[in-house]
Amino acid sequence: MRHQETADGVLRGVGGEANVQSVEHCATRLRFTLIDRSKADKTAVESVPGVITVVEGGGTFQVVIGNRVGDVYAQLGSLARRAPDRDGEKAAPAGLVPRVIDLVTSIFTPILWVLAGAGLLKALLAVGVKIDSSFGATTTYAILFAAGDAVFQFLPILLAVTAARRFKADQFTSLAIAGALVYSATIGVVAGPKGASLTLKALYDGGGDVTFLGMPVVVVAYLSSVIPIIFAVYAQSHLERLLKRVLPEALRNFCTPLITIAVLVPLTFLAIGPVTSHVGDWVSEGVNNLWELSPIAGGAVMGAFWQVFVIFGVHWSFVPIMFQELSTNGVSYLLGSLFPPVLAQAGAALAVFLRTRDPQVKAVAGPATVSAFLAGITEPAIYGVTLRYKTPFIYACIAGAIGGGIAGASKSAPTSFVLPGGLTLSAPVGVGNYALLLIGVAVAVGLAFVLTFVTFKDRPVAAPEGPSTVGEPVDTPTGAGVGGGGTATAVRTKSLELLSPVSGTAVALADVPDKVFASGAVGPGAGVVPAAGAVRSPVEATVVTVMPHAFGLRTDDGVEILVHVGIDTVKLNGRHFHPAVTEGSRVGAGDLLVEFDPEAVRTAGYDPVTVVVVTALAGYADVAVTSGDVNTADVLLTLQP
C-alpha cells in the first residue's frame, strides 16, 4: 500500500527532514522529536491519508497511525537515514518532566514488544502449571520458561543497546559493560568451600569481602535491574567523547573501548550501581508504601487517569517504575491496577459498535474493540471511537477508576512485564486475591459497556481524514471514498441486490489479505477469488471513476460501490488489465468493466482476489453476504433496509 506516501506527507507536515532530530514508534504512533515545533503543521499532518490524529506530550510530536505504524515508520526510517547528522544541534525538550518522558520513551519503547511477548509466554506457563502442577517439573516447562524469563533476567543487556542509541555511545562497549554486571551474578569466579566456585554476588551475600584495589564493593542485584546500566551507559558516552578528543587516531579504535571498559566496569561496581540501585529501591518502596497505605486509592487513581496518560503519550514514563517493582519485589502493583481501565475502554467501544447504525463508525469500532480486548492496545478505541463521542471515554475512565480500586484491593499483580489486556489476564495468577482482580475487571468492562450502551446517542461525527485505525491508505478511486456522496439520509423500504463481479469463490471481507479492506474501514462487502478474468458490474450504475484495476460506481439512488481487482495491483501500472469502460459510462448489471489475466497477476506476485465494498450505503442499514461458489449471475451482496 502507500506507506511511502503517508510517510512523505507526515514528514512534510513536521517541517521536513531538517526539522527532525529523531523519530521512533510505539504500538500505534510515530514519536517525533523536532528541532523547531513552530515549523510543524498539525492540521496538515492530520489531513494525511492514514493518519488518525496528532497529539503532543512529553516534548514529542506524536502522529497516531494505528496498527500499520511499523510499515510507515520503515519508510520514515529510510528518509531519516538520509538526513544530515545533527548531533548537538537541538536541545532537549524544555522542562524536567518532558525530558524524563522523552528519555524513558526512547530507551524502553524499542524493547517493549519482546518484553510483552516474553511476559505473555510466562503468563501462559503459569496457567499451565495451575492446570497440571506436574507440568512445572518437566524439561519442556524449563525450556519454555527460560525462553520467557531470559529477557527479564538479562534486561540490562537489552537496555544497554537502547541506552547506547539514545546517548550515542558505542553499542558493543555498552553490551560489554552490561555483560560484566550480569556476569557477577551468573558465573562463578571466586573459590568457595569444597572447591566450589562462587559468583561475586554469592560471595558478597555470604558475608565475604569483595574489594577493588582495596576499596570495598557493594555487589547489588544486577539481574533484572534497570537504572544502573542506563547511568553507566550515560557515563560511557561522555568518557568516549573525551577519549576520541585526546587519543591519537592510530590508537583510538582499540584504546577507546579498552579504557572505557577498564574504567566504567569498576566504577559501576563501586559507585554507579550501588547508588542508582538504592534509588530504584526507594522508588519501589514508595509504591509499596502507597499500596500499603491505601491500595484502593492507588488502584482507583491509576484506573481513572491511565487512559488520559495514554492520550498525551506520557504513560511510558511509568514503565521504569514497573520494572523496578518487578526487580525489587517480584511483582508490579502498578501494572496490576491497569487491567480494568484498559479493558473498560474496550467495553465502551463495544457498546458504541453495537448501538451505532453508522457503518463507518462500526468499521472503526469493531477492530478497535478487538485490539483493546485482546492486546490491550487502546489508541484505536480512544481516538477512533470513545473520544469522538466524548461521553464513552468519560464513562470508561469512571469505570476504570472503580475497577482499578477493586484491583488495587486485590493486591493481585503480574510477576513479569505484560501489556494489560485479555490475552495477559492470566499473568497475575497466584498473586494476591486473583478472583477479586477478575471482579474488578468485570465491573470496569460491564459498567463502561452499560453506561455507554444505555446513554449512547447516535449522531454524525467528524471522522479523521483517511482510513481509520488501520493506518494504511488504500488506492480508493476519487468519488468512491468512504461515506462519499449520495442520498445517505434516504429511508429505504426495499432491498438492493449486487451481483458477483466475477465467477469464483466468495470469501468474507475479513479473510481478504488486506488489512484495510478486511477491517471494514473502506466499507462492508466481500471478496471473490476469481476463476476467470472478466469483471462485470454488480448493478446498474454510472461509472464515476476508472483505474485499470479499480472502478467506482454510483447507482441512481446514491449507493456507491468500489470494485477493486487484486491486492496491491496498483503497482502493476495497468499491466494485465484491459478496461472496457470510461468515466461517465452507464453500465447495467452484468456489463463488462474490465478483462484481466488472473494468472499473470499471480505470477507477478499479487493476489487477484476481487473485492466489492459498499462505500456509501445511502440509507441502507445492513449488508448480507453470500458465501461459496458464485458466478456473475449470482447475488453476492444484499443491501437491506
Indicate which residues carry an active-site annotation.
26
CA atoms of 202 and 206, how far apart (whole Å): 6
> DSSP per residue over 201-269, as a string?
HHHHHTT---EETTEE------TT--HHHHHHHHHHHHHHHHHHHHS-HHHHHHHHHHHHHHHHHHHII
Strand, helix or coil at 553?
strand
The 10 Å Cβ neighbour count of residue 488 is 17
H-run or E-run covering 101: helix 96-108
Sequence letter at residue 276: T
Residue 427 has which C-alpha cell? 499473568
* Nine cell digits for residue 590: 452484468
Report the C-alpha gap between 189 and 267 in whole angstroms: 19
- Grid cell 518532566 in the structure block, residue: 97
Question: In 417-482, which ranges are continuous DSSP H helix?
Answer: 434-455
Determine whether 167 is exposed, middle or buried from the number of CB atoms within 10 Å of its CB (0-12, 13-18, 19+). Answer: buried
User: What are the residues facing 507 on neighbouring strands?
Assistant: 527
DSSP 35-83: S-GGG--HHHHHTSTT--EEEEETTEEEEE--TTHHHHHHHHHHHHHTS
Residue 489 burial (CB count, 10 A): 9
d(CA 181, CA 228): 9
SS3 of residue 564 by DSSP: strand
* CA–CA distance, 133 with 337 (Å, rounded to integer): 28
Distances (CA, A) of 482 to 385, 426, 461, 571: 17, 39, 14, 22
Residue 274 is classified by DSSP as H
Closest C-alpha to 240, from 258, 225, 227, 224: 258
Sheet containing 541-547: give its strands across.
586-587, 541-547, 550-554, 560-565, 610-616, 525-530, 504-508, 628-630
